[in-house]
């Protein structure tokens, strides 16, 4: 059985594991280097096709694909499945970056470019490096991790200030209120940092905004 806590396993004398890490980077770069303009979509794995968030994600991904934007997701269920499905059924490029987990993550059948990862940090590089916009649907810890990673990289100017869109005013309002009342109030962030993110609700509005910013 493969060991679960991979980072803990990096010990002196196990430097051979670095070759596996390099291999995942190589596989990702070779598969995605000529992807073209793409949008990464983050969101929960824990919803079914009858959920309104699933349905909105599917519509949004379909519109992105019809506007010649590839869709990148984590390759699993829920929001990821909806986004891959919407993009694929619209005839677009549908990328699934699946992660090996001991539970929950099962690859969905809708991605037409599939990659498998053991290491979260390599997978996140692929989400970020090959996208020109980032969309966060409602989600849990994983979604927050991916969202704040991108926000931090833009804030620190490690990547270009591509659009970050939070979909669902009701869902994200509490987080944004806390950021303003706590982080901003305590001067842990600057007022300009709030411009990094946008909150939007309608798929057509979101696609129009992305096209305008990216000029595609």
- Find how far residue 6's CA is from the centre of its chain: 22
DSSP-derived pairing of the beta strands 70-73 and 133-136? unpaired
Q: 3-class SS at 184?
A: helix
Residue written as token pair 């060991």: 3
Task: Specify the pLDDT at position 106.
Answer: 81
Single pTM value for the model: 0.91
| Listed range (8-12, 76-80, 149-153, 210-214) with the worst mean pLDDT | 8-12
Q: Has residue 123 got a pLDDT over 70?
A: yes
Domains and CATH numbers, the chain: 36-214 (3.40.50.450)
Task: Specify the pLDDT at position 208.
Answer: 97
Backbone angles phi, psi at 70, to 5 degrees: -70, 155
Instruction: Let me know: does 126 contact 173? Beta carbons within 8 Å.
Output: no
Backbone angles phi, psi at 83, to 5 degrees: -70, -45
Q: Which residues contact 167 (CB under 8 A, 6 or more apart)?
A: 56, 57, 60, 135, 136, 137, 138, 199, 200, 201, 206
Going by pLDDT thresholds of 50, 70 and 90, the confidence category of residue 105 is low
* pLDDT tens per residue across span 45-104: 999 999 999 999 999 999 999 999 999 999 999 999 999 999 999 999 999 999 988 765
Q: Extract the tokens encoding 117.
A: 């990862």
Q: Has residue 2 got a pLDDT over 60?
A: no
Helix (H) or strand (E) holding 198: strand 197-200
* pLDDT tens per residue across span 10-29: 565 567 788 999 999 999 99
Q: Has residue 159 got a pLDDT over 60?
A: yes
Q: Extract the tokens encoding 32.
A: 């995605």
Going by pLDDT thresholds of 50, 70 and 90, the confidence category of residue 114 is very high
CB-side neighbour CA atoms (13 Å) of 82: 25
């Amino acid at each position: 059985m493969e060991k679960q806590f991979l980072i803990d396993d990096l010990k002196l004398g196990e430097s051979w594991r670095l070759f596996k890490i390099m291999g995942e980077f190589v596989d990702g770069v070779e598969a995605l280097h000529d992807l073209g303009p793409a949008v990464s979509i983050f969101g929960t794995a824990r919803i079914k096709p009858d959920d309104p968030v699933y349905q909105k994600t599917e519509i949004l991904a379909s519109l992105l694909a019809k506007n010649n934007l590839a869709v990148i997701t984590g390759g699993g269920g829920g929001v990821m499945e909806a986004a891959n499905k919407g993009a694929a059924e619209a005839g677009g490029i549908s990328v699934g970056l699946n992660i090996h987990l001991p539970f929950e993550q099962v690859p969905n059948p809708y991605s037409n470019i599939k990659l498998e990862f053991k290491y979260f940090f390599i997978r996140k590089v692929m989400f970020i490096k090959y996208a020109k916009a980032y969309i966060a649907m409602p989600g849990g810890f994983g979604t927050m991790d991916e969202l704040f990673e991108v926000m931090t990289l833009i804030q620190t100017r490690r990547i270009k200030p591509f659009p970050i869109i939070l979909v669902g005013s009701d869902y994200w309002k509490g987080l944004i209120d806390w950021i303003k009342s706590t982080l901003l109030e305590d001067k842990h962030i600057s007022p300009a940092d709030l411009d990094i993110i946008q909150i939007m609700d309608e798929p057509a509005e979101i696609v129009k905004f992305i096209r305008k910013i990216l000029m595609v």
